[in-house]
Structure 1
């Protein structure tokens, strides 16, 4: 089933992107699943914006009630340009600087700590065992990753995880999960985890500016 709904961090805040050609029933059903899977992501009183011209008044009212069950307010906004969530559009957006907000953490994330961001996250340090990183966008760990990482937490299957030393206990991208083997050796190069053919794959990658 194709992705008809997506949550994205943008300059206007947290935004609900809807496939313009999708059936409303599919949109509603996918939203229910995404909200259930993101119970620990949203804080009480979160406001999510949606293009006012995408929904009828009846559809907007129905989705507002659905969001309200999770303590979220759905706000219809007259955007000058509504973005499609097709794969091609996602690739274009990824190349535009500033289209997705990025949070930078310049310290090690210790076990038991949890960092959640609706955009992308850069960790300038290690992610220790027991730590959890959840991002609506990409995750970049400039150190050793031994915790749990979840990129594309709202269904962005184009998201990725990159780490100088990828030793994560669990890697999640969108709705896919990859668990680490019992014994992990420290990697010797930077690696990137991403989705290919409906599977999470990990490949070596060269950072720009790296020696």
Structure 2
């Protein structure tokens, strides 16, 4: 089994620095462009099927990557993004910060202790549902020799990959995956191997630091984009 796990393209709320969570925001023009670039780069990958989060931004990304190919796309709510509950839509950059918490940076710095809105979801719960997805995916006898595209979200992608990483204490593995970043995983006899991590197929200077809205090339920092 070969898995290509992709984070969705950019959305208006990504560009504006607003928490999306499970709010169903579509891609913006730039997000569509990034997904098309990624699809062109992956055009020779022999995908057998795709599995997408039902949220528009993930499904659009899957459809754009697979454009022109008759490949079935299944949807699975277990790989939807982390729910931020009533915080969704609020600004979370320094310039537009609206989150009613002094500890929001724990989301990046100490995610397993991050306290979201009372009606939101914990990282621990996200890991439980994405593990259930992973277990079903990798144990499916009909898919053992398949090449599968998985379209999900920044936090949910890391939840899926939590089943691959050896260090279970490091949730983010250095950073939140940039828009349209692809992680390639091979699974054989129950053993998963990460073959490529956060690979992007567009100019790296276009990666945005979500916390500031600036290009990474301007900040010198890794992108923290949701």
Instruction: Give TM-score, length-normalised by structure 2.
Output: 0.31
Q: Which has the higher strand share?
A: 1
Larger radius of gyration: 1
